[in-house]
Amino acid sequence: MAASWFFMSRDDTADIVSFLIDRFSAEFVPDRSITPPSFPRYTTVAEVQSRIDEDVSASRSSRFHVLSRQWEELPLQFDEVHANDGQHFYSVAMRYGGPAFDLIVSQTWTDGQQHWIVAGQFGDYPYYIVDKAFLADYSLYREIKRPAVMTDAHKEVRKYLRRNGCRSVCREKGHTGPWILRGALREFDAGIWLRGGDWHYEPKQDKAKTKRRS
């Protein structure tokens, strides 16, 4: 999987969604729904932000499958999920149909007085599976390669991240981490954590100048 990781504030997310809509006429399909397919296709920043706010209220992370007529060839496929905690919902089957980019939104979480931003991701795969017919008859298994236009689009997204952000470094391990977009950088400077799993991140180029937090 080719993936670009990033820390974004709410405004940063709105900006990159706007970029994807303006540049590629992108449409955003939420990853899950309590109602059966087909799922909604969001075409405006306001619609995407409204769904993110809904997920935050429900203490859920936000994930979207990013489609465009520039690269979409097939209908998305869906799964019905009966979770161990009793939840029943439907979700987009990852890597089936489309093809579609996988957008995991970088979101802010709170625990008491502590606030942190978790890293998000924009990714795609080298190939996609046409549909689920092969689950009944494997002779029907078919793949489609990632369209060249998706490879080019992902390159443009990476350029967008470079233009509008800076690299992070892991405080504990010292390795290079996700991009930090402008809004997230302002929030970091105001005292919020940037986290990926158990690790904490800070701006790479300002590492020597950044006050470490305990």
**Domain containing 60: what range?**
2-165
- In a domain, residue 205? The reply is no
Judged by phi (left if over 0) then psi (alpha if -120 to 50, else beta), residue 59 lies in left
The residue with greater pLDDT, 36 or 43, is 43
The Cα-based distances of 173 to 176, 198, 207 in angstroms read 9, 11, 13
Q: Is the confidence at residue 122, as pLDDT, over 80?
A: yes
- In a domain, residue 212? The reply is no
Average pLDDT over residues 116-133: 96
Q: Which residue has the tokens 């931003």?
A: 117
Query: Could you report the per-residue pLDDT of 199-210, keeping only the tens digit for each?
Result: 999 999 754 444
Alpha helices in 122-178 (DSSP H): 148-164
pTM of the model: 0.90
- Structural domains of the chain, count: 1
Whole-number average pLDDT of the chain: 92
- CB-CB contact of 72 with 65 (8 Å): no
Within a 10 A sphere around the Cβ of 161, how many other Cβ atoms? 21
pLDDT at residue number 206: 53
